[in-house]
Amino acid sequence: MLPDARDHQPKAGLTPLPIVAEPAIERRLRSLGRMIGNTPMLAIEFRFRGRARVVHAKAEQFNMTGSIKDRMALHILRRAYAEGCIAPGDAIAEATSGNTGISLAAVGRALGHPVTIFMPDWMSRERVALIHSYGAQVVPVSRAQGGFLGSIHMAEEMAATDSHVFLPRQFANAANVEAHELTTGPEIWWQLRQNGLELDAFLAGVGTGGTVMGAGRALRRLKPSARIHPLEPAESPTLTRGHKVGQHRIQGVSDEFVPVIVQLDELDAVVAVSDGDAILMAQMLAATLGLAVGISSGANFLGALRVQDELGPDAVVATVFADSNKKYLSTDLMREELVREGYLSPEVRLTGFTTYHRLCGMCAVNTEPR
């Protein structure tokens, strides 16, 4: 019999969530934490090449702002407060392709901070509008100004001229990885175990790399043989090449460079998925199952399918649906996409899904300071 999650004790080596000394800030952080993480797990049922299959995905659109980046934003700010790196009223400045900016704007404003987001100017209009709606300032950065790397440089310049500016530095901050090591990974493991399953592999697209590195470390701690795969767009194989190559349409993945926190030697093979295939898959998940997910979720599903195809049709493979489709209404996700040779999505026939319960409050996933 599989053990109950309530019997699980956190493994040695995991850093407990820090407690913030300022009571008012600690109360606010705890309140925000109850709206972030512990998301449902979906078992997506489908047929592929004549055989019934299941791929599991965390429904991260249930987080406070509708994306997985809320986990990182909250944890980075909690640790920054605990370590004295940020004080009440300090400004927050960050370079982001969108979802992190939305999460930092929401969490930052909830904690009373002015927020400035530097963002490449080719991101969707919806992302910019959402950041503005949370009371944050958006500074668009053109390709001529350096695009994503230019955005990072501008944020660093802002902090260099003002000691009261906090930089989350999502691409280099170990707290990004830690957020998923403490929550996302253990949640995946125990939601599967509570349904009589044991994980064989986990896959996630790499933007900052926090999800695949953090969840991967937690899952490998629980099962050393688990395979952990990063995903990149086939049109822009930055992880494979080690530098920016090509252009793609999967916003939030492959941001022009390999982030410092991504340790490829800890991971299994990089999986590539075409952006057009990802768009078709995301469209199918919405139109067939009513699961309104973003483009990267379509990519993650297909990447998980590729891994499952290698391991065998009954392999238990999990991924994340990082956000909903609402930030992509002005993008190619809402347009007709041509099917090209080699795409997997035309061979997928979605048949249904089962939702696994969130974990109970007594489970050992570390979502609040003890």
Evaluate if residue 365 carries a pLDDT over 70. Answer: no
Q: What domains, with CATH codes, occur in the chain?
A: 35-66+173-356 (3.40.50.1100), 69-166 (3.40.50.1100)
Q: Residue 369 has what pLDDT? A: 58
Other residues' Cβ atoms within 10 Å of the Cβ of residue 83: 11
Active site residue 69: yes
- If one compares 278 and 12, the residue with the highest pLDDT of the two is 278
CA 272, 276, 278, 280 dihedral sign is negative
Q: Tell me if 63 sits within 8 A of 327, measured CB to CB.
A: no
Is 296 among the residues known to form the active site?
A: yes
CA 92 remoteness from chain centre: 20
Contact 36, 63 (CB under 8 A): yes
pLDDT tens-place string over residues 299-312: 999 999 999 999 99
169 has pLDDT over 70: yes
Segment 9-13 shows an average pLDDT of 38
More confident residue, 6 or 101: 101
DSSP 63: S
State residue 18's pLDDT score: 75
Percent of the chain with pLDDT over 70: 93
Place of tokens 């974990």: 359
3-state secondary structure of 97: coil
Alpha helices in 243-320 (DSSP H): 275-289, 295-311
Residues 117-122: contacts with CB under 8 Å, at least 24 apart: 117/93, 118/93, 118/94, 118/151, 118/152, 118/154, 118/155, 119/95, 119/151, 120/147, 120/148, 120/151
Tokens, residue 158: 């802002």
User: Phi-psi bin for 158: left (phi > 0), alpha (psi -120 to 50), beta?
Assistant: alpha
| C-beta of residue 129 within 8 angstroms of C-beta of residue 151 | no
Catalytic residue among 58, 67, 69, 97: 69
- Looking at residue 3, its pLDDT comes to 35
pLDDT of 242-259, one tens digit each? 888 888 999 888 877 899
Nearest partner of 323 among 292, 352, 281, judged by Cα:
292
* Distance between CA atoms of residues 285 and 297, nearest Å: 9
What is the rounded average pLDDT of the residues 61-80? 97
Q: Which of 91-105, 225-239, 309-323 has the lowest mean pLDDT?
A: 91-105
Do 349 and 47 meet the contact criterion of CB atoms below 8 Å apart?
Answer: yes
Tell me the pTM. Answer: 0.91
Q: Of 97, 124, 296, 297, which is the active-site residue?
A: 296
Amino acid at 129: A
Under DSSP, is residue 155 helix (H, G, I), strand (E, B) or coil? helix
- Report how far Cα 291 is from the mean position of its chain's Cα atoms: 17
Return the closest-CA partner of residue 68 out of 243, 293, 255, 238: 293
Residue 66's pLDDT is 96
| pLDDT category of residue 287 using cuts at 50, 70 and 90 | very high
**pLDDT tens digit sequence for 184-232:** 999 999 999 999 999 999 999 999 999 999 999 999 999 999 999 999 9
**What is the amino acid identity at position 96?**
T
- With beta carbons less than 8 A apart as the criterion, state whether 189 and 202 touch: no
User: C-alpha angle 232/233/239, rounded to 5°?
Assistant: 40
Take residue 127 and report the two structure tokens written for it: 């992302």
Q: With a cut of 90, say whether residue 367 has pLDDT above it.
A: no
- Residue 207 vs residue 369, higher pLDDT: 207
Question: In whole angstroms, what is the distance from residue 48 CA to residue 52 CA?
Answer: 7
Cα distance between residue 317 and residue 311, in whole Å:
9
Distance between CA 321 and CA 54 in Å, rounded? 15
